[in-house]
Amino acid sequence: MIDANLVAFLTNATAAGDRVHTGSPPQNSPKPYLVLQRTDGTAPRVLSGRALFPRARFTVIAVSRDKAAALQLANEVNARLTAKARYEMAGRSSATSVKDCRRASGPTDVTVIDGDAEFHGYAQEFAFMYLDS
Amino acid sequence: MYYGANVDAILYMGAATGDNLPAPNADVFTEVPLTGRIKPPRKELRTGFFNVLNDRNRRSVGGTSADKTVEGNVVIDWSEPTHVAMCEDADQQRKRNWRIVYPNAEERQLDFVGFVSVWDEQAFEAGEEAVEHRADFVITVDGAVTET
């Protein structure tokens, strides 16, 4: 499943280390960290009903202590996901063959400063065409 | 009963080739897989208009059938023999039996003889969206289309 395999692919691959969260991060999560959010998914078919390569979009938010570090982390993620046109993402029980990955948007500054709370982050959306096995 | 237009329509290719083809029920048909679009042949008569003496109303008459083609596209898979055959047919003007089965398969299918006159592979293009590689095709119909 691409969701789990994407987490595995990014774990310990960037300055965020193993702090790769899906959906939303735990409260007071130490920085830096990454947050993955699935924003879209389609499974196109041909006339016979046979499925083609599924598509999925994920927003990856890179969070760090300051803007510069967050942007650097975001660039690491982009380099990791788009370095090659085709690659494999191995997971615990399955693998995902990525047929295409491109950055669809971003990095977008999503920094929030509210009193003492500071959240420095950059969001990027990645579009995948893939095949799960 | 009416039916959906975006699933379950199937294009079949006959095995026999040449100018003297067996009747459809004596041929062996193979599904053309990964078909993304099939446009059934258009029915059209050539028409003529004329006037009779001083009659102010224009008269018309229907004549012969217009040219018939079946257009569509496939997601190319070079391990599929039917895709390879369609690509080769476009070079060699090889006539075959073809069959289109409508989504309501119990009710309607079209049988006709034709040859692939266009096999047009789409460009490899670094566009915005990732897509599978497709080929547009045109099957030129030779003779009548049998509706059953």
The answer on pLDDT for A87 being more than 90 is no
Taking an 8 Å cut-off on Cβ atoms, the answer to whether A47 and B38 are in contact is yes
The distance of Cα B24 from the centroid of its chain, to the nearest Å, equals 15
pLDDT tier for residue A128 given thresholds of 50, 70 and 90:
very high
Q: Which of A46, A47, A100 sits opposite B130 (nearest CB)?
A: A100
pLDDT under 50: residue ranges of chain B: none
Residues of A in contact with B34 (CB under 8 A): 46, 48, 50
- The reply to whether ipTM tops 0.90 is no
Rounded average pLDDT over A67-88: 91
Rounded average pLDDT over A108-121: 85
* pLDDT attached to residue A118: 79
Contact B92, B65 (CB under 8 A): no
The answer on pLDDT for A109 being more than 80 is yes
Strands A55-64 and A33-42: antiparallel
CA distance A49 to chain B (A): 6
What count of CB pairs under 8 Å joins A to B? 38
What is the signed CA dihedral for B73, B77, B82, B87, rounded to 10 degrees?
70
Would you say the pTM of this structure is higher than 0.95?
no
The answer on pLDDT for A43 being more than 70 is yes
Nearest residue in A to B9, CA atom: A47
